[in-house]
Amino acid sequence: MKPLLLLLLSTWSMPAASYFVTIAGLGGTPEYDAEFAKWAADLDHDLKANGPDARVLTLTAASATRQQIERTFAGIAADAKPNDSLAVFLIGHGSFDGTDYKFNIPGPDITAAELASLMNKIPAQRQLVVNMTSCSGASVASLTRKNRIVIVSTKSGTEKNATVFARYWIDALRDPAADTDKNGTVSALEAFDYAQRKTAAYFESEKLLATEHSMLNDTGEGSAVRDPKPANGEGLLAAAFPIIRPETSIAKATDPAKQKLLAKKEDLEAKIDRLKYEKAALSPEEYKQQLTSLLLELARTQAEIDH
């Protein structure tokens, strides 16, 4: 391991508070509202397993307003110290008008520049933002800053379809396979690599044209890249930023029974996505019946995983 990475790992692993902010925006339809709320709840659950030093704040649906977002970031800005860390996760839909990226929330949408301004006021020097919305690639330029890792689910503002990257980002925090160096911790880079790989496999298995291509930037300059590595200088900070620490949910998912449940969960989620594509060919009653059945089975499976 390179000396600089060892230094970063030792410094960034020092005891300090870790602030995690998850914001789930508007779904636009009942199925997306339910999906986004579930992803936010799953993320909230897993992040709280990090222990007492994890300050987990989650805003969903009606609570994810501009006013509440500003209040949440202001509270962190007042409490956080320079050696603390901040991770922000955006789930939902985004838009891009050719000039500004906007995150779709109740009331007036919030731009990437406005989100960056809120994060800039927080003294925590180690920062991560994972924008898992459609059009999120357009937010990179505004969010990029020194010592901030920026991960987006699309390569540009023109990839406008609803994304599945968030699903696999959450799975990365639960699947031991994401912990590639087997140190019991899933880093931002490991979660990115896992979610990117799973997203690509999803489109291949469903025989669909890929409508999202995740990117990462952690140098504070230049463009985001698809394949962070030493050759392009990207990924160093992300490799040293822990998302799930030892003795948390990643360690609980190693037994074969849990692995079967995780596989079942992934299959159910794929079936739900497939049903969405087939919605136009079904009657409203048939679509609702099939969707309800799949969502109930998914909820039961998730309950077994969490047990």
pLDDT confidence band for 234 (50 / 70 / 90): very high
Whether residue 250 has pLDDT greater than 90: no
For residue 24, give every residue at least 6 positions away whose Cβ sits within 8 Å of its Cβ, in sequence order, or none: 36, 37, 39, 40, 58, 59, 60, 61, 64, 91, 92
Q: For residue 272, is pLDDT > 90?
A: no
Q: In this structure, are strands 18-24 and 85-91 parallel, antiparallel, or unpaired? A: parallel
pLDDT value of residue 260: 79
pLDDT at 59: 98
Residue-wise pLDDT for 114-145, tens only, equals: 999 999 999 999 999 999 999 999 999 999 99
The residue-averaged pLDDT of 171-177 equals 91
Work out the number of other CB atoms within 10 angstroms of the CB of residue 182.
Answer: 7
Which position has the higher pLDDT, 254 or 202?
202
Phi-psi region of 110 (alpha: psi -120 to 50; beta: other; left: phi over 0): beta
- Residue-level pLDDT at 275: 76
pLDDT digits (tens, 9 = 90+) for 61-89: 899 999 999 999 999 999 999 999 999 99
Residue 130 tokens, joined: 């994972």
DSSP assignments along 226-290, one per residue: SS--TTTT-SHHHHT-EEE-TTSHHHHT-SHHHHHHHHHHHHHHHHHHHHHHTGGGS-HHHHHHH
pLDDT of residue 73: 98
Q: What is the rounded average pLDDT of the residues 220-248?
A: 86
**pLDDT above 70: percentage of residues in the chain:** 89
Predicted pLDDT of residue 185:
87
Whether the predicted pLDDT of 177 surpasses 50 = yes
pTM (two decimals)? 0.81
Q: What is the pLDDT of residue 295?
A: 83
Residue 302 has pLDDT above 90, yes or no: no
With 0-12 CB in 10 A as exposed, 13-18 as middle and 19+ as buried, what is 279?
A: middle
